Chains A and B, each alone.
Chain A
Amino acid sequence: EAGVAQSPRYKIIEKRQSVAFWCNPISGHATLYWYQQILGQGPKLLIQFQNNGVVDDSQLPKDRFSAERLKGVDSTLKIQPAKLEDSAVYLCASSLNRNTIYFGEGSWLTVV
Chain B
Amino acid sequence: GDSVTQMEGPVTLSEEAFLTINCTYTATGYPSLFWYVQYPGEGLQLLLKATKADDKGSNKGFEATYRKETTSFHLEKGSVQVSDSAVYFCALEGTGNQFYFGTGTSLTVIP
Contacts and interface: CB of A to CB of B under 8 A. Distances in A.
B58 interface: no
Interface string A95-111: 10011111111100000
Contact of A42 (B45, B97, B98, B101): B101
Interface residues of A, number: 25
Contact of B42 (A31, A102, A105): A105
A41 B102 CA distance: 8
B43 A100 contact: no
A87 interface: no
Interface in B31-89: 32, 34, 36, 42-46, 49, 51, 89
Contact of A103 (B45, B96, B97, B100): B45
A17 to B, nearest CB: 24
A25 B28 CA distance: 29
B44 A91 contact: yes
Contact of A104 (B43, B49, B51, B93): B43
Interface string B90-110: 000100111111111000000
Contact of A55 (B45, B51, B96): B96
A48 interface: yes
A42 B43 contact: no
26 contacts: A33-B99, A41-B104, A42-B104, A43-B101, A44-B101, A45-B98, A45-B99, A45-B100, A55-B97, A55-B98, A56-B96, A56-B98, A91-B43, A93-B44, A95-B97, A98-B93, A98-B97, A99-B49, A99-B51, A99-B93, A100-B34, A101-B46, A101-B99, A103-B43, A103-B44, A106-B42
Interface of A: 4, 31, 33, 40-45, 48, 50, 55-56, 91, 93, 95, 98-106
Please name the 5 residue pairs, one residue from A and one from B, whose CB atoms are nearest each other, closest first: A42-B101, A103-B43, A105-B43, A103-B44, A42-B103
Given A43-B44, A91-B43, A103-B43, 4 more contacts: A91-B44, A95-B97, A100-B34, A104-B43
